[in-house]
A and B are shown apart, each in its own frame.
Chain A
Amino acid sequence: GQQVMQIPQYQHVQEGEDFTTYCNSSTTLSNIQWYKQRPGGHPVFLIQLVKSGEVKKQKRLTFQFGEAKKNSSLHITATQTTDVGTYFCAGPVSGGSNYKLTFGKGTLLTVNP
């Protein structure tokens, strides 16, 4: 079945360092969504990318969607302790008008102040 893989599984950085997480799909995605889950919290929607090669920015966060629409990345510039959490990518299950999302396993980011 369709898989969405994320790397790395864990990333520990010093505050102020940059961070990147990568998402790869086994199939072409019509779009990709990113979510953030704080420790003990619930996933919160960050952004959706739809177009091939799309790049979107939210303050220190930069999201990219690959040209082939099979991979995506999230880059955080100059991390802060508030960035701590698990970042998930999610893509729609291929086929029809199915509203199912397949979530990656996530990248857990910890930031040392």
Chain B
Amino acid sequence: DAGVIQSPRHEVTEMGQEVTLRCKPISGHDYLFWYRQTMMRGLELLIYFNNNVPIDDSGMPEDRFSAKMPNASFSTLKIQPSEPRDSAVYFCASSLLGQGHQPQHFGDGTRLSIL
């Protein structure tokens, strides 16, 4: 079975540019999560969706960050304009709805470098 698929795997761009990260969750999963991982701050939840609806975006750092989930099989995380401090690994994860908290399945991540 295909896992969570993220693209691109690596992105290097100059500050001020728009960056779009993409995610395809596991088919049938109800929840989709976007995380950012840095050495300093660890793994931080940015936003999560349930059935394509954003539930909690309190982790989104600034208005420069936005996320959408137009359908059950696709989500994007956009940074505009990008800044060097946005450099990090961005993970998408998905999970099933169920009693209690279900395991989260992570994609391979996008390694983002803003110059």
Contacts and interface: CB of A to CB of B under 8 A. Distances in A.
Nearest to B44: A103
A85 interface: no
A45 B105 contact: yes
Contacts of A30: 100-101
B28 to A, nearest CB: 16
B4 to A, nearest CB: 9
Chain B contact residues: helix, strand, loop or mixed: strand
B107 interface: yes
A42 B103 contact: no
Interface string A29-64: 011010000000111110010100000000000000
A45 B45 contact: no
A44 B43 contact: no
Contact of B101 (A42, A44, A101): A101
B95 A99 contact: yes
Given A33-B101, A43-B91, A99 B109 contact: no
A43 B50 CA distance: 21
Contacts of B103: 33, 45, 48
Contact of B45 (A42, A44, A100, A105): A100
Interface of A: 30-31, 33, 41-45, 48, 50, 88, 92, 98-106
Interface of B: 31, 42-43, 45, 48, 50, 55-56, 91, 93, 95, 100-101, 103-109
24 contacts: A30-B100, A33-B103, A42-B91, A42-B109, A43-B43, A43-B93, A43-B104, A44-B106, A45-B104, A48-B101, A48-B103, A92-B101, A99-B48, A99-B50, A99-B55, A99-B95, A99-B101, A100-B45, A101-B101, A103-B43, A104-B42, A105-B42, A106-B42, A106-B43
